[in-house]
Amino acid sequence: MIAKLVASGADRGTAIDRLRVALDGFYIGGVQHNIAFLATLAANRRFRGGALSTNFLARLVRVAGGARRSRSGHPVQRRVALPPRS
């Protein structure tokens, strides 16, 4: 782990709004990271509403452009297109 980002608020929506702002300003150079994926996750309506299930991440990855497999066989996020801000 390179860094840990924690956001809090009076309620889930406020905490997620703060998380989105922080992720927009977060920069890590020189190594691969998952900031774009985390920003997409924080912008997702189901995530914001807490309507999660065991297949939530798998569905999000499929919608965002599919997943490839690492050498160990684990899914790896390839590319995530950020949705427009609401």
22 inside domain: yes
Least confident of 1-10, 38-47, 68-77: 68-77
**Would you say residue 6 lies in a domain?**
no
The answer to whether residue 62 scores a pLDDT higher than 60 is yes
| 58/64: higher pLDDT | 58
In the structure, what pLDDT confidence band is assigned to residue 72 with cuts at 50, 70 and 90?
A: low
Number of domains the chain contains: 1
Q: Is residue 5 part of a domain?
A: no
Q: What are the C-alpha distances in Å from 34 to residues 2, 14, 39, 81? A: 11, 22, 9, 12
CA–CA separation, 59 and 74 (whole Å): 15
Q: Looking at the domain assignment, is residue 1 inside a domain? A: no
Range of the domain at 55: 12-77
In a domain, 7, yes or no: no
pLDDT tens figures, 7-50: 999 999 999 999 999 888 887 778 787 888 888 888 888 888 99
Q: Looking at the chain, how many residues does it have?
A: 86
> What global pTM score does this model have?
0.55
In-domain check, residue 41: yes
